[in-house]
Amino acid sequence: MNIHEYQAKQVLKEYGAPVAEGVAIFSADEAEAAAKSLPGPLWVVKSQIHAGGRGKGKFKELGPEAKGGVRLAFTLDEVKSHSADMLGNTLVTAQTGDAGKVVNRLYIEDGADIDRELYLSLLVDRTCGQVAFVASTEGGMDIEEVAHNTPELILTLPIDPLQGVTENKASALCDTLKLEGEARADGMKLFPILYKAFVEKDMALLEINPLIVMENGRLRVLDAKVSFDGNALFRHEDIVALRDKTEEDEKEIEASKHDLAYVALEGNIGCMVNGAGLAMATMDIIKLYGAEPANFLDVGGGATKEKVTSAFKIITSDPNVQGILVNIFGGIMRCDVIAEGVLAAVKEVGLQVPLVVRLEGTNVELGKKIISESGMNVIPADDLDDAAQKIVAAVKEVA
Ligand code: ADP
Ligand code: MG
């Protein structure tokens, strides 16, 4: 689960991290009062969407000449006009996809005098099985680009869970970020704080880009992107309360109600699969044959008829879907039960696009028989390879 920048800063502030003062607003009428409550004379008006790259983003409605989704304001009037400009409009950034995201909230923040912009993040490093810091002096820009062009400027520093952030580790981070004087003292305090917040709140990612050294020599968290481990949300009511459903895909919200692991994607082949590994393999093979999956969907091991039906509804509600591939391995579940579930779902939901069904496992012959005798327009497949080729061909024919 993701949260907005201003919410992430609030969480970090509670742990003692240095963040600027700011006020979140939902309508342009609130802009002036928000700015007046801050010290000034420089304000920053920041679009709050669940995507980065806002500064360099463009508003669809405002044309290519207009400024981006993070703007400096030198007067109260500018705060007001920037706010009116951004709210309700669609911001397209390198991370939103072409559709962009509608800006429903703004964060009016105290402006900082920036000396240097640094990069700092915390993530779960699966190679070493530890939480790791990633740090670089090259902040404020696209870190993927830095990693590609100048990997020597990035330090990855795993933290031993039993020792936490030791003096040595904090010093190493200070060295990499070239922190001196007060900024170094701020860093020595900040790094353990961030690690504590990350672990206690079950974060999956905490990215500060940029962390800045201000002209007065102090450190400040200027941007914050946080996502949380969905499996741990049950023990963080305070975090769940920050959820902004307008930022989430409606189909994903619906799927979570039915306990389906669903992620919407950009392609046109809807997939219904059981088991995350098989779902990944199915997506891979669709790509191998030159098409793109419309979603990841794991209906789980004990998929009932009801689950299969709701999965079908979610897949068919996606206007991009031009074909569906059902790829189910009947292990504990029997293939004949699955076949009946699929047919019942098709009957209930209706089928406007080609459907390929590949079943394997217990009672597979019976399952196939049920499908082939159903009189429905279902294309049976023998194995994963066959299934992928058939659905890709069927979709190409339609298109
Ligand atoms: P994004 O990464 O989505 O573009 P940021 O919060 O990183 O958004 O803002 C983009 C840039 O805007 C920063 O790199 C920084 O140069 C500037 N900026 C952001 N917030 C402030 C602030 N409070 N004071 C001064 N400059 C800011
Ligand atoms: Mg940023």
112 lines ligand 1 (CB under 6 A): yes
DSSP letters, 251-310, are HHHHHHHTT-EEEE-SSSEEEEESSHHHHHHHHHHHHHTT--BSEEEE--TT--HHHHHH
What does the pLDDT read at residue 342? 86
Catalytic: 119?
yes
Q: Among the bound ligands, name the one nearest to the CA of residue 93.
A: 1
CA 232 to chain centre: 16
Give the domain ranges of the chain.
Answer: 21-110, 114-239, 249-398
Are the CB atoms for 233 and 285 separated by under 8 Å?
Answer: no
With vertex at residue 327, the alpha carbon angle to CA 394 and CA 397, rounded to the nearest 5 degrees, is 5
How many CB atoms within 10 Å of residue 256?
A: 13
Q: What's the chain's Rg over C-alpha atoms?
A: 25
Sheet strands side by side (includes 269-273): 261-264, 295-298, 269-273, 323-330, 355-361, 378-381
Per-residue tokens: 254? 């619906």
Q: Which of 6, 119, 195, 262 is catalytic?
A: 119
Spatial distance between the Cα atoms of 249 and 255, rounded to a whole number of angstroms: 10
Residue 198, pLDDT score: 98
Residue type, 121: S
- Whole-angstrom distance, CA of residue 311 vs CA of residue 316: 9
* Binding site per annotation, positions: 46, 53-55, 109, 112, 117, 209, 223, 274, 331-333
Is-same-fold flag (21-110; 114-239)? no
- Four-residue CA torsion sign, 244, 249, 250, 252: negative
Top CATH class, 249-398: alpha beta
Domain 114-239 has CATH 3.40.50.1440: no
Bridge partner list, 154 = 136
Q: Let me know if domain 21-110 sits in CATH 3.40.30.10.
A: no
Ligand 1 contact, 109 CB (< 6 A): yes
Rounded CA separation 69/87 (Å)? 10
Taking CA atoms only, the protein residue closest to ligand 1 atom 10 is 55
Q: Extract the annotated binding site for Mg(2+).
A: 209, 223
d(CA 95, CA 89): 17
Quote the pLDDT of residue 399. Answer: 67
CB 99 within 8 A of CB 24: no
Quick one: pLDDT at residue 302? 72
Q: What one-character-per-residue DSSP string does 179-237 give? A: --HHHHHHHHHHHHHHHHHHHHTTEEEEEEEEEEEETTS-EEE---EEEE-GGGGGG-H
Helix intervals (H) in the chain: 5-14, 31-36, 76-86, 143-149, 167-176, 181-200, 237-240, 250-257, 276-288, 305-316, 335-349, 364-372, 384-398
53 in ligand 1 pocket by Cβ < 6 Å? yes
Give the dihedral of Cα atoms 363, 365, 371, 373; nearest 10 deg: -130
Q: What is the pLDDT of residue 382?
A: 86
Distance 373 CA to ligand 2 centre (A): 57
> Does residue 108 contact residue 35 with C-beta atoms inside 8 Å?
yes
Averaged pLDDT in 10-residue chunks for the chain of 399 residues: 97 98 96 95 97 95 94 97 96 90 97 97 95 96 88 96 97 98 98 98 98 98 96 95 89 86 92 93 96 93 79 90 92 83 85 92 91 87 94 88
Q: How far is the CA of 118 from the centre of ligand 1 (A)?
A: 12
